[in-house]
């Protein structure tokens, strides 16, 4: 896992080199369509959540997350002629995702596959395959494959009008690769957060808006890699009840971009949690946010729409070190396999 986290700067550069030239193909597939449906599970679902925020908040395109059982179990007869489906699977062989993409195409949708495996079932069945070029990933927890999925959904959103790089020079994309490399270089900055989380009886992770997907991915990684029960929340949900049980036995990990409409609110959440006795680890955010946390890990110098690509790296580094501190094997968590298998019958 540690080695594959370190490989991410090169993986991001490969992904950008392969995917940016395909923006015109994505636009062509979307022609005369009006909405996007994202299909995924697990870590891939968190990339899909980020894609939804980008498409709706930045590109102005209605987007939603599919419930695959609508296709695989209920076999619903839906008119998807106005829909571009983006199906996301690291391996491209997750049966449920492949079946849902095939079902969508059979009901009139155009399908874009986001996968790390060229020639996979998902890639072969799609109208366009965005192969993320992460390279072989051996550790069970997805790191570089997830990161390049975030790149892929950002490229899709950019193609459909999100204007990630309004100048058209692709300078913003180069900054993404540079910020990922910087996060890897300063990996030691996550170390002070490890004992804080190691000592906690309960852990919650929270973010909102563009950073919600990073918070949910961080919670999943802590749970599956460290075998620690964790809840991932939007901060809006955290404040509507769960925060009432927060006390000194709780550690909170908060994720925020350095700009955007959610950063000040995340600072307020950090203050609130600390008043209730919780210890707070902050990743990213601005100076007031950093001051509101017990331990702060710097995030990327990227605008909010691209920030999650950089924010997930220190989160991954923190999880890998926490797993080792707890005596766990971060490369092969108990009871997990690399390819997600779901009942489709």
Strands 110-115 and 83-88: parallel
Round to whole Å and give the CA distance between 69 and 66. 9
The helices-and-strands tally (H runs, E runs) of the chain is: 15, 10
The Cα-based distances of 126 to 2, 5, 106 in angstroms read 33, 29, 11
Helices 307-325 & 212-226, crossing angle to 10 degrees? Answer: 20
Confidence of residue 66 (pLDDT cuts 50, 70, 90): very high
Per-residue tokens: 313? 């790296």
Mean confidence (pLDDT) of the chain: 93
Please tell me the predicted confidence (pLDDT) of residue 144. 97
Confidence of residue 237 (pLDDT cuts 50, 70, 90): confident
Q: In terms of pLDDT, which residue wins out, 139 or 35?
A: 35
The Cα-based distances of 272 to 216, 238, 259, 265 in angstroms read 20, 11, 20, 11
Q: What is the pTM of this model?
A: 0.94
Round to whole Å and give the CA distance between 25 and 297. 38
**Residue 341 predicted with pLDDT over 70:** no
Per-residue tokens: 153? 């959904």
SS3 label, residue 83: strand
Q: In terms of pLDDT, which residue wins out, 243 or 126?
A: 126
pLDDT in tens, 139-180: 999 999 999 999 999 999 999 987 665 555 678 898 999 999
Tell me which residue of 254, 263, 345, 248 sits closest to 304, measured CA to CA: 263
Round to whole Å and give the CA distance between 178 and 245. 40
């Amino acid at each position: 896992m540690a080695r594959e986290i370190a490989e991410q700067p090169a993986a991001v550069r490969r992904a950008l080199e392969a995917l940016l030239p395909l923006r015109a193909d994505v636009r062509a597939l979307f022609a005369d369509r009006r909405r996007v449906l994202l299909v995924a599970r697990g870590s891939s679902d968190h990339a899909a959540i980020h894609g939804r925020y980008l498409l709706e908040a930045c590109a102005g395109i209605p987007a939603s997350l599919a419930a695959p059982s609508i296709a695989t179990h209920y076999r619903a007869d839906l008119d998807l002629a106005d829909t571009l489906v983006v199906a996301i699977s690291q391996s491209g062989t997750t049966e449920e995702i492949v079946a849902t993409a095939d079902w969508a195409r059979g009901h009139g949708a155009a399908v874009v596959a986001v996968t790390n495996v060229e020639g996979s079932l998902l890639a072969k069945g799609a109208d366009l395959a965005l192969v993320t070029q992460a390279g072989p990933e051996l550790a069970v927890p997805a790191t570089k494959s997830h990161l390049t999925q975030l790149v892929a959904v950002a490229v899709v959103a950019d193609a459909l009008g999100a204007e990630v790089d309004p100048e058209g020079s692709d300078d913003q994309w180069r900054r993404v690769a540079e910020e990922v490399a910087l996060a890897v270089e300063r990996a030691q900055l996550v170390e002070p957060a490890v004992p804080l989380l190691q000592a906690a009886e309960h852990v919650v992770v929270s973010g909102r808006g563009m950073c919600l997907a990073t918070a949910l991915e961080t919670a999943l990684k802590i749970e599956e890699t460290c075998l620690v029960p964790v809840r991932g929340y939007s901060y809006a949900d955290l404040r509507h009840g769960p925060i009432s049980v927060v006390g000194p036995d709780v550690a909170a990990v908060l994720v925020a971009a350095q700009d955007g409409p959610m950063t000040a609110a995340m600072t307020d959440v950090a203050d609130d949690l600390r008043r209730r006795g919780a210890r707070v680890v902050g990743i990213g955010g601005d100076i007031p946010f950093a001051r509101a946390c017990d331990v702060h890990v710097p995030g990327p110098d990227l605008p909010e729409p691209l920030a999650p690509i950089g924010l997930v790296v220190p989160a991954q580094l923190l999880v890998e070190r926490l797993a080792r501190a707890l005596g766990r094997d971060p490369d092969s968590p108990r009871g997990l396999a690399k390819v997600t298998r779901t009942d489709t019958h």
